Amino acid sequence: MRAPFPGECDAEAANIPAGHALIVLVRQVEPGSRIRAAVNCSVDLLPLSDDDEAAAHALFEVAVQREAVAPDRQALCALTKKYSVHGSQSDA
């Protein structure tokens, strides 16, 4: 999860609404092979989480439309917890 590099996102993706930030999510699918997805995130939701890895995983699932967009911080925290290794271990 990072800010886009200069020239990485096309003009449409870079033209985000006021009050939002563009975040690039990168997932390694196998050594040497990565998938990237760009998402607009409300600045009201930043910083995303204490667990950046889980937040990145949750947002990637949103970006590829396997999860619904979290409408507020509480929903994003719940979605992040779903992808948290720590949460799943403590719930076991």
**Cβ-count burial 8-46 (b if 16+ within 10 Å, e if not):** ebeeeeeebeeeeebbbbeeeeeeeeeeebbbebeeebe
- Global pTM reads 0.66
Asked whether residue 3 is assigned to any structural domain, the reply reads no
The percentage of the chain sitting over the pLDDT mark of 90, rounded to a whole number, equals 5
Q: What average pLDDT score do residues 68-92 get?
A: 74
Asked whether residue 56 is assigned to any structural domain, the reply reads yes
Residue 76 domain boundaries: 11-91
Name the domain count of the chain: 1
